[in-house]
Amino acid sequence: MRAGLAHRLLCLGDASVLGDGRQGADESAIGASRPGTAHAGSWRDSGGRASATGEPRPTDPTGNRGATRAPTRGARRPTDTRSHGDHGATLRARWNYAEHVTSSESLPQGARPSAVPPPGSGTATGAPQPSPAGGPAPRGRRHDHIAAAVLGAAVTPLTLTLTGLAGQASSQGHLLVGAGLLVVLVIASTVVQAAFGRRSSLGGLIGGLVALAAQAAILASSECAASAPQAWARQLIPTGAVLILAGLLIGGSLGLRRARRAGRAWARLSALLGRSDQEQGSTPAAPPSRRNDHLFSLAWVTICSLISVALADRAYSAIVASGDAPVSPWALAGILLTSIGAGAGVTRSSLGARVAGPIVFIGALPAFLSASASDRSAMVPHLTTDPTASAVLMLGAVVSAIGWGAHVARRQGITDEKDSWADQRAVALET
């Protein structure tokens, strides 16, 4: 024990007394190069000797005072020499060894320490980096809304004009002209509603508001239907076609919007079921059945359509026949609400409108084709007293078109959802 104590005292004296100015200069250079130190003489060496200034030893790169990390496998510890001339070189070797151990042990197994980012990069300056999880910004739909609004403002006068001219041609015995106008009405309505379903449902709302404005102008007129400048308009207005069209377009706009969202939800559900099917030991789950939605939509659209036509024929014709009849707000509200219900029946399924629309349209064709005969109102006496049944034909054509528009909107929602997934994957791969 005495021999060991004597050897330790000799080592202390050798390092503190016999150290020359070169050793102090080396230690000062090393202390200045270490991060977190202000002066070379302010740190303690490995033997625990304090400097002349008496300042505490700085922390190592991991934040622990005086802690020495265990060397990693394969790393060689520098030799510890006690010679006076190369004492500074030994300290430099120890410092480089500690840096190597720290950078190697702080990374996962098999990983290499990454290079320090340049000062101009966002990582070095602390600037926020874009996260690929949020995905790219969605495509702006402002142009779609504007185009749909312009088309919706034009679809109302176009539909009413085609319906009125077809009814006038049928009453005058020009059946081929009337049938041709009906074909144009069906095609134009379907194309317009499909455009609304693909681009924006705002067009239907704008078209409904235009029809409501026209209806308000009719009711505000002193002579109502008699004040219309065209003969086909004077024949069409008492049928309630303007108010029915307003309700159908507004309800169809709501239905198309919900159908688009339902398509996106269906795409997410399909993806979830697909991922669950790929799991080991899981039983593939069948997608939920939509049979009840189809049946409910068919019954709902049919009932609302027939009620709106019956109310318009019984109550509306007396209101607009002349300006002397009192306006019944309940009758107008009933016609408008049932028409909105018929248009919004495509929310859960578009099959109901696509089936109910042609049924109503075909049911009114006999009255339209026999409008010039003496028994022209005998085909649909309980549905409408209009000899041409033009309002019923318009309702069937528009309801069927809304059904196809909802079908397109649902498909477009599925496509948009899948496109958003593809964009997110592309951004994740780029980053």
Task: Show Cβ contacts of residue 173 under 8 Å, excluding neighbours closer than 6 positions.
Answer: 372
Assign 322 a pLDDT band (cuts: 50, 70, 90): low
Structure confidence at residue 98 as a pLDDT band (50, 70, 90): very low
Q: Which of 94-108, 138-152, 188-202, 279-293 has the lowest mean pLDDT?
A: 94-108
The boundaries of the domain holding residue 184 are 145-275+291-430
How many whole angstroms separate alpha carbon 200 and alpha carbon 148?
6
Residue 245 has pLDDT above 80, yes or no: yes
Is residue 356 in some structural domain? yes
pLDDT at 107 over 50: no
Structural domain count of the chain: 1
- Give me the pLDDT at residue 136, please: 54
The C-alpha atoms of residue 274 and residue 272 are separated, in whole angstroms, by 5
pLDDT-based confidence at residue 334 (cuts at 50, 70, 90)? very high
CA 380 to CA 306: how far, in whole Å? 12
- pLDDT of residue 81 exceeding 70, the answer is no
pLDDT value at position 226?
72
Residue 303 within a domain: yes
pLDDT of residue 189: 96
Residue 266 has pLDDT above 50, yes or no: yes
Per-residue exposure over 245-284, b if at least 16 CB sit within 10 Å of its own CB, e if not: bbbbbbbbbbbbbbbbebbbebbeeeeeeeeeeeeeeeee
Answer whether residue 52 is part of any domain.
Answer: no
Q: Is residue 424 part of a domain?
A: yes
Kindly indicate the confidence band of residue 197, based on its pLDDT and cuts at 50, 70 and 90.
very high
> Which pLDDT band holds residue 57 (cuts at 50, 70, 90)?
low
Give the pLDDT band of residue 195 (cuts 50, 70, 90). very high
| 207 lies in some domain | yes
What mean pLDDT, rounded, does the chain reach?
73
Instruction: Output 82 or 385, whichever has higher pLDDT.
Output: 385
Average pLDDT value for residue range 225-242: 84
Average pLDDT rounded to a whole number, residues 95-117:
44
Tell which wins on pLDDT, 296 or 121.
296
Is residue 186 predicted with pLDDT exceeding 90? yes
Q: Residue 172 has what pLDDT?
A: 87
Q: Which amino acid belongs to residue 327?
A: V
Per-residue pLDDT for 383 more than 80? Answer: no
Q: Which residues of 167-185 are buried (b: 16+ CB within 10 A; e: fewer)?
A: bbbbbeebeeebbebbeeb
Within a domain: 389: yes
Which of residues 61 and 331 earns the better pLDDT score? 331
Read off the pLDDT of residues 161-177 as tens digits, 9 standing for 90 and up: 999 999 999 888 888 99
Range 337-348 average pLDDT: 93
- Percentage above 70 pLDDT, the chain: 59
Residue pair 368/380 in contact by the 8 Å Cβ criterion: no
Give the pLDDT score at 32: 45
pTM of the model: 0.64
Contact criterion met (CB below 8 Å) for 206 and 217: no
pLDDT score for 358: 95
Burial class (CB in 10 A: 0-12, 13-18, 19+), 286: exposed
Q: Is residue 90 part of a domain?
A: no
- Does residue 82 form part of some domain? no
What is the pLDDT, as a whole number, of residue 274?
75
